[in-house]
A and B are shown apart, each in its own frame.
Chain A
Amino acid sequence: MAGRVVIFGLDGATYSVLDDLARRGVMPNFARFVSEGARGLLNSTIPPLTPPAWTTLVTGRSPGAHGIFNFLQFESEDSPYLRIISSREIRCETIWSMVSRAGRRAGSFNFVAHSPAPKINGYVIPGWVPYRWVRAHSHPQGIIDRLKNEIGSFDLQTMAMNFQEEEKAVAGTQLHDYEPWIDLHIRREQQWFNCMKHLLVNDPCDLTGIVFDGVDKLQHLVWQFLDPAYEPANPSQDFLRTRERCWDYFRKIDGFLGETVQIVGDDGLVLIASDHGFTGTSEIVYMNTWLEQQGYLTWKGDAAVEHQDSQELGAAHPYHLTHLDMSRTRAYATSASSNGIHIPVKGIRGEHGIDPSDYEVFRDELRYALLNRCVDPATGEQLVTKVWTREEAFAGEMINFAPDFTVALRDHGFFSVLRSDTVLKPRSVVMGCHHPQGIILARGADVRRGAQIDPVSLLDVAPTILYALGLPIPRELEGRVLSELFTRSYVREAAPKLNGHTDHPVVNVENTEPFIDAEGEAQVLMRLRALGYIE
């Protein structure tokens, strides 16, 4: 495959929505893409969550290796304090860096945990960054000013993350708020696409990746308008109007896809991928309240019921953690999105917790309780359908940052970590939540036309991209080349080359001499040698 590769990332995209929109004529370019390319299901990470999943896609490594489990992470192995993840927390090399090391160029747009931007051969405009920081956290220096000068409609404030608005995606909103919310995402995606398109045309890279995260944000809120399973027999005018606006968002994305395919041309490869799928959730499980009822967790006396998390003075520590009586708590959940449960162990993150020698027995007891006593009070049905220990889900060097348990709920929803007066509540409307299977589709000269492949893993994407670029695949990558996406003649002629190793994450080596230890220095020397700067 001689041409360029573009990762067209659709955060949370799922076939149940996209195929329906293709059938209705809302997404004609997607329909054409399907008929001209290959497609399959893409198994996500445990849990199916944006930070670990996209990081797995761009590193080819599992969370236990790359170290990204959630939006919030303990500050160190022994710290009880949580921080919002940044690019420093990714402990494995990204595909952008691998491509750079091979002497090729890469461009990355709107990926999570890419801020401050790693210094690669190409450009990185990170996602999930407040607008005042996008310029400072992008690479190379001056890229934002360049885009501002060269794209007439460039608007950094629209493009960057608006965190106050984002809270609505999780917290839910009123019906009349849906349309401004959808419009905001249409405008934002247009900004991101303008940037990618401008550079694809005027300063192309061998590998370009973009994530449109509005797909996820919309689906959380407006699932009832998107999943055909929830379409009412006699829809109201309000329903039809809001659904039409949702479809406008997807029309926009479809237009971007059509333009991208045209720019890349027939000799390149366009890969559509989502980090996870989506489905509907109609209930809320209050995990910390269940832990309290079972005697595993104690709130401080003043902890309010259903109080929202606070971020006073910029602290990322969720409200509910500061309101736990840790001296009487043996298990707790830190954040809604990870579905993770932590067991405090004495001496590891402070003086409180269970005795280290009791850990295995206590963990077995809690696992049994989660699977057998966390039930729907009305029916007795299990609310927790699966429990993974950290060894099962997150084996690797970064395991000590991972929660002790990760659970799956019966409707794939996220549990709530807030204090409640009951363990289970119905939602007033169906909301969208993450499903463990996302999508992967490929189109290009050497891609099989109309092929349906068996489900594959996010781990397989990075090696497949390197293969398509004709680059060697480092031995540490955990997945495989998805040769079933490509024609037999192409695979016969171009065998995958497993060769070499990943590098440590690219760090800014300028001005760091006083702060690197001997091991770090050796790594820098290795890197400089690999780049040919020293012998």
Chain B
Amino acid sequence: MSVPPATITADSVTRIDAVEPSVPPERTPSMRNPVATQSIFDLAVPGRRSMLFPPSDVPDSPLDELLPADQLAGSPPALPEVAEPDIVRHFVNLSTLNMSVDTHFYPLGSCTMKYNPKRHERLAKLPGLVDVHPYQTPEDSQGLLSVLYEMQEMLGEIAGLPAVSLQPAAGAQGEFTALLVAAAYFRDRGENRTKVLFPSSAHGTNPASAALAGFETVQLGASADGLVDLDELASHLDDQTAVFMITNPNTLGLFEKDVARISQLLHDVGGLVYIDGANMNAVLGITRPGDFGGDMMHYNVHKTFTGPHGGGGPGSGPIAVRDFLGDYLPGPVITRNGDTFELATPPKSVGRMRTFFGNVGILLRGYFYLRTLGPDGLKAVSENAVLNANYLRVLLNDVLPVKHGDLCMHEFVSSAAPVKKERGVTAMDVAKRLLDHGFHAPTVYFPLVVPEAMMMEPTETESKATLDAFAAAIRSILEEDPEVLHTAPHGTPVSRPDEVAAARKPSLRFCRPDR
């Protein structure tokens, strides 16, 4: 089938000459290296080596004298045999099949795909940071502990919630940890509270974490304005209510203006308010979860504080809680005694959520970021994130309308429902065609409360020119032949994988032809 290249009409938007959006399908594959991107198992040749170890310098006893014969493997695991240049060419070529923040605008809503500063990578690799064993003595680790202590302090201040645990490995584990903290607090008070509530627009991790922590989950609907429905919330609150989990700004990119009232309602029945901190990029230095009624929250260091995202982690999900919950935090936390930093476990701790201290390598990058920006820089991050989001929203509002709210915070949720109705073009079609234009797609079909949702989060580290070009691309896409969009993308290495076939007969590992 013949597919016309993506083009943008001159009158669709200003400054379009600044970009080169056209991606004819016949032009893209020419510089690919299909040999190098075969499976690493297919590249293997018996007898090839990369890593070589020096010979043993201790007495060369036969292995079966050191280990029982019935525990020994007959042959080593069948890993591929490749040379170092094979490895480099394979993985470097694979890397070029990715879109990334370093290479593309990546407005994946809810994920805060901001620029990841290069200085972080250099500093995190310094000896004395990267090579510290988790069981070495605190006296040998004072410099690192001082950094982590400051990180605790800064996260407490930004949250307005002073007690901090850096332990959780990612945001979802932060949620789970905080819910266990809440459970321990209620148990300590002799209260049997069984319910965790959350709005329907919540991230899937909220109900999943609540279920994991042993709570009954109660999902609330959304009001017409996209905010928590106070009456519905109130109708569910009783002495069985443990925690209300709320993302603020919420997943529609709207600030829950009644959050203080919500908090009051919860506190009136003895419950606690949990703030999902996924959207902290909107409110740094503007307002604080502790100030608007939250009792507990998690951060996503890999989002808000440029972790980076790593192709799907590692994350880091520290939690901050009110003073009266601090005794229940997992241990260890870092305490300061004069000029000395020590590890301590809080007296009523929920225990340990993971082995060792935490995802220190990611926390360090967050620390570098906070120290680079300072108080004014942090506030400017949120101001610019909100400015960029609103600017992009306005550029697109007539073609991909935003149903909820007049202004958004750091992100907004457009709907492709009108174009679907008029021309049969879905959010997925637009998302896929954007890849042809050299833009990563927004988050699509989340949150579920918006039909044909396209959730866009430009972040503060994108320029006006990029936002203009992105809006122009969307506008031009919406004028294309719907058939071209249904089969998009056309210039990517692959297009519309068959997910149904994948799920019906899962093939989850390389299979050797000889097996």
Question: Is A bound to B?
Answer: no
B residues contacting A by CB (< 8 A) are: none
